[in-house]
Homo-oligomer: A and B are copies of this chain.
Amino acid sequence: MANEVYDLVVIGGGPAGYAAAIRAGQLGKKVACIEVERAGGTCLNWGCIPSKALLKAAETYEAIQHAGDFGVEVKDVKVDFAKVMARSRTVSDKMAGGIEFLFKKNKVEYLLGTGHISVPGIVEITSGPDKGKFLSAKKTLIATGCRSRRIPGLEVDGERVMTSREALVMKKQPKSIAIIGAGAIGVEFAYFLNTLGTETHLIEMLDRVVPVEDPDISQALNRSFKKQGIKINAGTKVENIEVGKKSVKMELVKGEKRTPLEVDTVLLSIGVVANTEGLLSDKVKPQFDDKGYLVVNDRYETSLKNVYAAGDIIGPPWLAHVATYEAVQAVNGMFGHSEPKRVTLFPGCTYCHPQIASVGITEEKAKADGLDFNIGKFPFSASGKAVAVNKPEGFVKLVLDAKHGEILGAHIIGNDATELITEYVLAMKSEITADEIHATIHAHPTMSEALAEAAASAHNEAIHI
């Protein structure tokens, strides 16, 4: 039987779940958060955070290789791959510990195991250290997230075949790798491994790398990755994967052409699927969409009263920052703090080098929708800061409403892109026009000047091009 009555029981301790639990704690609610593994969830333990630590190691190695350009002479540099991986785990541990600290601070009861909704209002813990506990929940938030999609019949053994999760704890650096899927995760691992010297094959079924981005961005990344030595196969399927003891063989199929490929290891980065195993008893049947995601209303409530959901489990865009936002909105709404808002606008970031960041629609989409639009564009090669720090690669591209100059989409590739995008997100959110961005003084010399120059360029008023 349920011993305690909680205002909120959160199932899942990732960016949606932990944020929801902390927010409920801030609101003075009695709240428990059930996590199957470790606070922080995939993002913090198996995604965003440890991957950024790895990428920083690769960036550091790359910076050293180019240090001579700056007059810093380095003779003997080598990568201790085990140490690279170990630091990344240390960072995750530290951040997970931080979440656990925040749970305590905000009086969130942190429980370990699989959360299972027996009936709406009762959550049982069915595995793990807290197995056997029943929690009575006035409200429940499902935030179980997603996990990497696999290829049916292809066993993920963590050595020859990995998803990003196994790749984050690789025991040794592969000599060669086939990365299947050139979305954000695929290109980040491609940059990381290629930079450290792995022969890297990046394979994408669609016709270009980072296919959700503006085609100009894909083209620029393609060019840069080729220069870096990454072997790119777009418009290519992988068939007949054969996992051997020492290698993996496969066929790359592009139209009629079949090319054999043999590599040490395969990384699958082909999207995600919802985590629902063990979540619901037979009696609990919230509505799912046809892709397996929970359907929620504008208050993030599922078809079951007082059962809410937020984050990856309610479907794309599968981004940590979107998950956190949804979760906080859901909690604010369920306890009457403020009217919850659904997500309409969010940035997407990819942390390979050059970095990619975008918000809103692509030029392609603006065309397809028959919109009347202008393009603003500014290359970093014309930025004093970019040249001074030896990062002249990339550009800023704006898709602007032709009539009012409203920003419809913004696309950045280059150094610091993932930090720069924030100004455009705020602008779009607040309906600030390109002219108003141009009229705002941007510090010199910064990469951010390119944001104002791109805005100005739509009226041919950019000074530096």
Contact = CB atoms under 8 A, between A and B. Distances in A.
Interface of A: 15, 19, 22-23, 26, 43-44, 48-50, 52-53, 56-57, 60-61, 63-64, 67, 69-87, 91, 94-95, 98, 102, 319-322, 324-325, 328, 341, 343, 345-349, 357, 382, 384-385, 387-390, 416, 418-423, 425-427, 429-430, 432, 436-437, 439-449, 451, 460-461, 463-465
Contact of A87 (B57, B71, B357): B71
B94 A387 contact: yes
A52 B443 CA distance: 13
B70 A78 contact: no
A358 to B, nearest CB: 10
A463 B323 CA distance: 13
A104 to B, nearest CB: 13
A56 B388 contact: yes
Contact of A419 (B22, B382, B448): B448
A401 B8 CA distance: 34
Given A52-B385, A429-B439, A436-B429, A446 B22 contact: no
Nearest to A23: B463
Contacts of A439: 341, 429
B76 A74 contact: yes
A460 B465 CA distance: 45
18 contacts: A26-B460, A49-B445, A52-B384, A60-B70, A71-B87, A73-B80, A75-B75, A91-B388, A95-B387, A320-B444, A322-B441, A346-B443, A348-B443, A349-B443, A423-B423, A426-B432, A429-B436, A430-B436
A56 B67 CA distance: 10
Given A328-B463, A382-B98, A441 B321 contact: yes
B460 A443 contact: no
Given A70-B84, A429-B439, A451 B463 contact: no
A389 B429 contact: no
A321 B442 contact: yes
A325 B441 contact: yes
Contacts of A343: 441
A61 B69 CA distance: 12
A175 B60 CA distance: 28
A389 B79 CA distance: 17
B463 A19 contact: yes
Contact of A26 (B73, B449, B461): B461
A198 to B, nearest CB: 15
A75 B76 contact: yes
Given A63-B60, A461-B26, A49 B80 contact: no
Most-contacted residue by chain B among A75, A384, A419 (CB, 10 A):
A384
Contacts of A341: 439
Contacts of A76: 74-76
B69 A444 contact: no
Contacts of A319: 443-444
Given A71-B87, A389-B56, A15 B320 contact: no
Given A72-B64, A441-B325, A384 B426 contact: no
